[in-house]
Structures are given as C-alpha cells and as structure tokens.
Amino acid sequence: MDDTVRRREEAPIAAPHVPEPAPSPVPAPSPAPAALTAPAPRRAKSPDTDPGLPHRRWWTPYLFLLPGLVMVVLFSLWPFVNTVILSLTDAQILKGGRFVGLENYGRALGDPDFWTATVNSVVYLAVVVPCLVLLPLALAVLVQRKIPGIGFFRSAFYTPVIASAVVVGLIWQWVLRSDGLVNTVFEKLHLISGPVPFLTDSTMLLVSAMIVTIWKGLGYYMVFYLAALGNVPTSLYEAAALDGAGAVRRFLSITIPSVKPMMLLVGTLSAISALRVFTEIYILGGESGGPGGGARTLPFLIRQVGLGFAGETGYAAAISILLFLLTLVFSLLGHRLSKGDER
C-alpha cells in the first residue's frame, strides 16, 4: 500500500454539518388572573362608622316626618282638644270660663234654635246629597262624548267651581231678589202676580241656598265621574249594543255598577259639605239667617252664638262638638256602605 492511500485511511473522517436548531421563543408570561392581581375591594363602611358620612341613626326618617306632624298637632289636633275642653266651660269672648261639665250640652238639647238649625242642616243634606250624586253623573255622561266643541261645555260647567262662594252668592242674590232677574222675567211673562219671596221667606231661602250649593258643586263632582267613566271598558258598551241594549239599559247595567264606588265617595263628600254650609245662607239671608233665623243651619248658629263681645264661646264649642258627632255618623255610614259594596 502506498503512502497516499495510507494517509487517506488515517485521516479523520469529518462529521457532516448539522444545522443547529433555532432557539425556541421564550413564551411571554401570561397575565395573572384579575382576581389575583386586582386590589381587594374595599369593604363598604357602615354609615354609622364611616367618619366621612353624616352620622345617621334609626330615627333619621322620623326627622323628615316631624315638621308635618307638628303642623297636624298645632292646627288640627290641638284645636279639636281645645274645643272639647272649652265646651265644658261657660267661657265667653272676654271672660275666662269655669268648668260646668255637660251643662252646655244639656242646654243645647233643650234649645229650640239648636233643633231648628239641626233640622235645617239634615233637610239640607237630604236634598242636596242625592242631587249632587246623580246630576253630576248625568252631566259627565253627556260631556264624555268626543264631539267638536265639547271642551267649551266642560269648561262652562266647571267655571262655578273656581268662583268663590261669596261671588256665587252675590250673583244668585241678584238673580233671586224681589226685583231680580227671575221675578222680572216671570212678571213679564205674566206667570206670577207678585214677586216670589225667594230670599224673604225662610223655606224659600233654604231652597234657594240648596240651588246655589247644587249649582256650584255640579262641575266639581262631574270631574270625579269623568275620571271614573274613563276606566270603564268601551268593549262592554259595544257588546251590550250588539245584544240590543238601548242607552238607558246600558246606563243602568254598565255605567251605574262601574261608578258605584265613586258615587259612594261623592255622597260622603257632599254630605260633609252640606252639613258645613254657611256662606250661601249668610249671603242670601243676611246676618240673621232669614226671617226670624228660620233658615239657620248648625254652622250659622255656631257663628251667631259665639260671635260678638257677649259671645258664648263655651256654648258655641258644645254645638260644634255636636255637629262633629253628626258629621262623624254620616261619614261612618258612607264608609260602611263602601265596605259593603267591596264585599
């Protein structure tokens, strides 16, 4: 073997070139869970322990009610209690009273003026309340229709409500006096031979005052009934019309039952108003309450007894309590009827 071949055999065999693997990218660190990184929520501090908030206690809401409660006590509860106390004395306007027990109540029950005023008030209530329950309902049914110009009639019927009782009384005094509008028209038409004593007869004066009260209350209670009629489904009327029911039948079978709760409310409110009537009698009949005071009601008698330098405030307070009891009876009666209707 020659030297060339021997050198080739002894030379080391070169290793094949193997490319080095590329370095693997270092994974970016994953964000830590929000629950682990976010700061722990601050625990809500109690209003009572947080120094940055106003100091509040359980009685804080009652502080907001306190002004209203004070007003009720000062202007409602205390005058009532004071009237009860005053009714047990013989106090007068300019003289302090002494305790006389139930003497004023016994005096009222034996006073003919008291019974005349009580009868007038009850008659007033018996006439005015049914009229103010039914007439506004009929009026509301008429003006409920959506016809052109119906807004004018609604406003016209409601206008007496916003007028003061004094203005209304003066208007009707001009209408009903002996030389007023009604007597003049009747005489021109030869319907009467002499003026009708609307304001100079006790009975006619009471009737005239009732007319004024009803006229003034029509628009007020009409609004009540319009609100109630708006809640009656028109489908009931349509179904009844398809069955052949006429207008009267629909009124009696659908309208009356639907607005019955509102009728009871109107009856209660108008009864309370009728027992408190004063301005109409005073404006139409004067300070005496008609000839001989024959048209006086209980509020009118209270004012007449307790007014003036010799006013008997103790006796007037006793009549006031009796009027309160009479009003309470009719209010409870209306409440009882409404409860029976709900059952």
- Average model confidence (pLDDT) across the chain: 83
Section 182-201 average pLDDT: 88
By CB atoms closer than 10 A (0-12, 13-18, 19+), residue 14 is exposed
118 belongs to a structural domain: yes
295 belongs to a structural domain: yes
Section 170-185 average pLDDT: 89
Q: What percent of the chain has pLDDT over 90?
A: 37
92 belongs to a structural domain: no
Section 213-223 average pLDDT: 92
* Degrees to nearest 5, angle at CA 309 with 303 and 313: 45
Residue of 243, 273, 250 whose CA lies nearest to 131 = 273
322 belongs to a structural domain: no
Report the predicted TM-score, pTM, of the whole model to 2 decimal places.
0.75
pLDDT score of 18 more than 50: no
187 belongs to a structural domain: yes
What is d(CA 324, CA 276) in angstroms, rounded to the nearest whole number? Answer: 10
Contact 123, 205 (CB under 8 A): no
Section 250-259 average pLDDT: 89
66 belongs to a structural domain: no
More confident residue, 246 or 132: 132
More confident residue, 148 or 5: 148
**pLDDT given at position 49:** 54
| pLDDT tier at 132, thresholds 50, 70, 90 | very high
| pLDDT tier at 308, thresholds 50, 70, 90 | confident
pLDDT tens by residue, 312-331: 999 999 999 999 999 999 88
172: domain CATH number is: 1.10.3720.10
263 belongs to a structural domain: yes
128 is in which domain, residue-wise? 111-307
pLDDT tens by residue, 27-70: 445 544 444 455 555 555 555 555 555 566 888 888 899 999 99
What is d(CA 314, CA 101) in angstroms, rounded to the nearest whole number? Answer: 11
